[in-house]
Amino acid sequence: MAKMTVREAISQALREEMYRDERVFIMGEEIGKWGGTYAVTRGFLDEFGEKRVKDTPIAEGVIVGAAVGAAMAGLRPVAEIMTINFAFLAMDQMVNHAAKIHYMFNGQIRVPLVIRTVGGGGRQLGATHSQTPDSVFSHFPGMKVVSPGTAADAKGLLKAAIREDDPVLFIEHATLYQAKGEVPDDEDFIIPIGESDVKRVGKDATVVSYSKGLQLSLDAAEKLAQEGIEVEVIDLRTLRPLDTRPIIESVKKTNRIVVVEEGWRSYGIGSEITARVQELAFDYLDAPVRRVAQAEVPLPYNRRLEQSALPQVPDIINAVKDVMYLK
């Protein structure tokens, strides 16, 4: 095991997979000479050359469209979209082509494509550069959606995504790159896509989250433990396909659940979790499902306003106490 940042874990995963399989190449805006906006691919151009590290024009539709074609032809591209907000410019290529080709061609053609992108707020980048539209992309069958919250999960899930024969949208959070954690040294370390994970065991309430929300939830759990409240924290890790088995098992034990996400509350990931818990574990609930999410406004630029709109640790603590009827 080695301790490293999320940025280092993602970079290591890319490098290992490029050495393992010569069909893997990376492409995107400023990923070569500049080394990537978040420095994930720094040094890759010198290490792998221009054939496998391709700087592209500022044209997201072209990036994803070219990557889809390359994947159909037998390569395994990892296309970087600088921020998920720009992925809207490639929606047609992502949801009408990448996600549907395998199905529409009756399984004769695969699209082994990974789209790496960055989401989330908290960096004062303004309303159009700080969105968390994860639920939008998770809506479409045919494309898997992954969003890790720890360094180990970032490495293991990215390696699994690159080896996957279907398209994967890999969402990294802008404020987690410096977060550190223990990561296995094994070059074949992968985490299967579509498996949620219990990050903390508890008995009093269940908290479900992912990505940045996972870190907030773990912080909240630590503070609640000081008051004698033990919450179980479950990390989704994958948004499509969604693994609800650990969630249902946890709710049957704790009888209470809080869902935490950075996206907007309406039509979000939390809404889907809530619906599935109602369908599969309604008789075990001793309190209504509570959702903690971003305020229903375009995210402000002002630092204090931005933080007030985003979910925070006290919001999670209050929600847990609400479902436990301690307020």
300 vs 275: CA distance, rounded Å: 30
- Residue 327 reports pLDDT greater than 90: no
Is the pTM value of this prediction over 0.85? yes
In the set 17, 60, 272, 306, the catalytic residue is: 60
Of the options 3.40.50.970, 1.20.120.1760, 3.30.70.260, 3.30.420.60, the CATH number for the domain spanning 2-183 = 3.40.50.970
Contacts of 244 (CB under 8 A, 6+ apart): 196, 273, 276, 277, 280
55, pLDDT greater than 90: yes
Strands 24-28 and 76-81: parallel
CA distance 28 to 24: 14
3-class secondary structure, 28: strand
pLDDT on residue 213: 98
Is residue 162 within 8 Å of 146, Cβ to Cβ?
Answer: no
Domain 2-183 and domain 197-323 have a common topology: yes
Q: Catalytic annotation on 187?
A: no
List pLDDT tens digits, range 17-27.
999 999 999 99
Rounded CA-CA distance 206/210 in Å is 13
Q: What is the mean pLDDT of residues 71-93?
A: 97
Active-site pick, 16, 80, 97, 129:
129
- Please provide the DSSP assignment of 206-251 as one string: EEEE-THHHHHHHHHHHHHHTTT--EEEEE--EEES---HHHHHHH
Q: What is the pLDDT of residues 33-45, one digit of tens each?
A: 999 999 999 999 9
Domain edges within the chain: 2-183, 197-323
pLDDT higher than 90, residue 1: no
Residue 174 per-residue DSSP state = T
Q: What spatial distance separates the first Cα and last Cα of the chain, rounded to whole Å?
A: 42
Residue 237 has pLDDT above 90, yes or no: yes
Structure tokens at 95: 């949801």
Rounded alpha-carbon distances, angstroms, from residue 106 to 98, 120, 252, 272, 276? 14, 36, 40, 29, 30
Interatomic CA distance for residues 202 and 223, integer angstroms: 13
* 129 labelled catalytic: yes
What is the spatial distance between Cα 80 and Cα 56, in angstroms, rounded to a whole number? Answer: 10
C-alpha span between 327 and 321 (Å, rounded): 6
| Right CATH for 197-323 from 1.10.540.10, 3.40.50.920, 3.20.20.370, 3.40.50.10860 | 3.40.50.920
